[in-house]
Every structure is written in C-alpha cells, then in structure tokens.
Amino acid sequence: MPDFPAGFRWGVSTSAYQIEGATTVDGRGPSIWDTFAREPGRIVDGTTGDEACDHHHRYAEDTALLAGLGVSAYRFSISWPRIQPTGAGPALTAGLDFYDRLVDGLLAAGVDPVATLFHWDLPQALEDAGGWLNRDTAARFAEYADVTAARLGDRVKLWITLNEPFIHMSLGHGMGVHAPGRVLLFDAFPVAHHQLLGHGLAVAALRARTASPVAIANNYSPVRPAGDGDADRAAAAAYDALHNRLFTDPLLGLGYPDAPGVDPTVVRDGDLDVIAAPIDVLGVNYYNPTGIRAPEEGSPLPFEIVPLDGYPRTAFDWPVAPDGLRELLLQLRDRYGDALPEIQVTESGCAYDDAPDAQGRVNDPERIAYLDGHVRAVHEAIGAGVPVTGYFVWSLLDNWEWAEGFTKRFGLVHVDYPTQRRTPKSSYAWFRDLVRR
C-alpha cells in the first residue's frame, strides 16, 4: 500500500438505529424506523432494530474495539428521538448523557468523535405531521442541532448534518422500500428540498455553538450508460442529475440541476442561500456504480437501472468497482472546481456472508480485497489532485441493515446476535495494520 499524507483520517462508521437497540430507555420516543420495521413484509427477515447490536449498553466494549483498531476517528449518528422524543421541545438530559459518555470515552481512547445528526431515524411525531414533506421539519432539525451541539459542542471533532439525503428521499419516499415507506416517485422532491433547507439551517445553528468543522454525507454513484446511443445517454444524464447532482449543486451554490422532479414552486426566496452556507468537508459515501439504459415505453421513470456485468459481486449483489470511487472523486473535482471543499470518504464497505470457522475465527478475504482496492482508488485520486483527507469503513460492526434486517454483514467485527458476542474478522487486523503504518 502506498503512503498517505500525514494526518490522513482513518475511521469507521455506524449509525444509531442500526446498532444501538435500547429503543425504549431514558424516554426515547419512537422513530419512523421503529414503526416501519413493525409493518408486515417490510424487513426481509421480519426483524426490527429493538436490540440491534445492543451498543447502547455495550458502548464501552465497542470503544475498546475502536481503540484496538487504532483508528483516528469514529463516525456514529445521534438518534434524534433520544434527544427530542417528539422532535421538538427541550432536550432530554438522559438522551444526551449517553452520547456524552460515548464522546468522552472516545476522546480518552484517542479517537476523534465524528457525529452525524440525521441518519434516517426521524421522530415518528414529526412524520405524523408530514415528515420531510413538511417545511417545518427543516426548522425542527435546526433546533435539534442547536440543543445537541449545546451539550456536545467542540468535543465532537466533525459534525455531519445529514446522511445520504438522496437515499432517504428515493428509497424512503420515492420507492417506499425504506421508512417511512411512501411511494411518491418524483413527487418526493419536497423531501429533497426540506432536507437541504434543514441542513443549511443546521449549519448556522452549529456555527453558533461550535468551532469544529461541519459537513454533510452524500451518496454518490458514477453512472454507466448501457449503450452509446442517444437514448441511453439521455437516461444516464437524467439519473446522474438525480443521484449525483440534486444534493450537491445547490450545496455548492449552483442551485438545482435540471433533474427529474425538481419543482421550483417548493423553493422560496432565500432558500438557496441558506442551503449554500459554506461547509468545511463534503462527506462522500460510495458503494458501487449504476448501470442505466433508456426506459421502456410507458415507464413512469425517464431511466431504467440495469445490472453491470463484468464485476465481482458482494452478498448484496452490488458490483465491486473500486475504479468507480476514483472516477467519482475526479468527477467531483472536475464538476465543482474551486467550489469543492475538502472531501472525506465517510462510508465505504461491503457485505459478505461471514461466519466463524471451527476455531471461531472469521476470515473475510473478500472484504480485505474490497477495502484494499478502494483505499488505493482514494490514493490515486489524491495523486490526481483531489483533496481527500479521510476514509471511513462502513462498518465497525455487523449490524441491522435496514430493509435487509440482519441478513447483510458489513462489519470489520462479526456479531453473533443471539449472544451479542463480538469477534474481530481478519479484515479488522488488516485495517489495523494499514492504519498503524
């Protein structure tokens, strides 16, 4: 492995609902994922995040795993309904206490706390009032950012407002495969705009409370047209605008791109200025490129997603394409030029069906190969002049993978859910050695 610049941030990522469990302690309110997971047929194995990895009780053990890994940063998310059970009003002291203990434990272990404020677990009471379709949710989000930063302030070394607003819009509100399960197709655009508005308002709230840098974590996927024809290219451009530009152009001051569903009547005077508040870091989450072809006659979508041939595949059936990460980093640089802030890869990882062998060891050579390829792709992008300053593996632990329940294992650490026993995989040792170098 080639050398990375001194001070490069190596980390791992998790999110609250996927690992914490303890969904009814200390006054926590219900979130849209508590509700959604209980609806029949939503989650492939019929499970919920009620227990997940029991991290709420085992955070000290998990902090020790981080210390053993030697990472310089840990990206976790804060559960909004632990802080404000109904998404409004004063912060619950007991809810904040948990993150306070976590943050102090991380600092004592020499690990920078990186906190995401919204990783999809909206308080159910806000959903009942329209959720992100309701403009007021943006104001509520800024209030939540304020009360949270008032307590955790500068001890958090990087604040991330939203995780993957594109996925929350498209899977949660467009296609209905994630909470809250709405099927609005392109009528989901207000969810994009109100998340971005909430982000901008939260940036201002955070700036008033902390000197730490502020970021957003977007999901990106380089688009590969199925053929050279005009129809496939037009379809690919439409998908690219939706996935890769809808949430980045306005953040970087360019306003909304010409993407399917964009509805200017939702955007009020001044909103675009709020959204374009300068950020310090752009978080990039990358898993795979997307194949696109022109839609069938009569399709409600202006594109069709098609499998990409010629790549190895993960247990999620996602193509393993490290070149896509280099490509998207270069594309961001080419697209946004001087407007592009420093980048940190805030998620990168893969699911495989890892299981302990007869000796209890978990060998996951595919994950090592996956990470090796993606870390090298980052190095190449840095060499080509893209300002990448960090790389976070998704994920520290095997965890509750949304609609896939417990069936997809992304961790550097294996979790046996019935006993909650943690077993570092061979990829954990590999990543530890990389970080140490």
Write out the residues near ligand FCB by the rule CB under 6 A.
Answer: 15, 18, 163-164, 167, 219, 285, 347, 394, 401-402, 410
Integer-rounded Cα radius of gyration of the chain: 20
Asked whether the beta carbons of 117 and 159 are under 8 A apart, the reply is: yes
Catalytic residue among 127, 164, 366, 401: 164
Smallest separation (angstroms) from ligand FCB to the CB of 30: 19
Give the residue with the Cβ less far from ligand FCB, 368 or 382. 368
CB 115 within 8 A of CB 105: no
Catalytic residue chosen out of the listed positions 127, 347, 366, 401: 347
Strands 158-163, 112-118: parallel, antiparallel or unpaired by DSSP? parallel
Gap between the Cα atoms of 10 and 12, Å rounded? 7
Does the annotation mark 347 as catalytic? yes
Q: Which is nearer to ligand FCB, 54 or 401 (CB)?
A: 401
HEC readout, the chain:
CCCCCCCCEEEEECCHHHHCCCCCHHHCCCEHHHHHHHCCCCCCCCCCCCCCCCHHHHHHHHHHHHHHHCCCEEEEECCHHHHCCCCCCCCCHHHHHHHHHHHHHHHHCCCEEEEEEECCCCEHHHHHCCHHHCCHHHHHHHHHHHHHHHHHHHHCCEEEEEECHHHHHHHHHHCCCCCCCCCCHHHHHHHHHHHHHHHHHHHHHHHHHCCCCEEEEEEECCEEECCCCHHHHHHHHHHHHHHHHCCCCCCCCCCCCCCCCCCHHHCCCCHHHHHCCCCCEEEEEECCCEEEECCCCCCCCCCEEECCCCCCECCCCCECCHHHHHHHHHHHHHHHHHHCCEEEEEECCCCCCCCCCCCCCCCCHHHHHHHHHHHHHHHHHHHCCCCEEEEEEECCECCCCHHHCCCCCCCCEEEECCCCEEEECHHHHHHHHHHHC
Closest CA to 247 of 269, 224, 276, 290: 276
- How far apart CA 328 and CA 324 sit, in angstroms, is 6
Residues recognised as catalytic: 164, 347
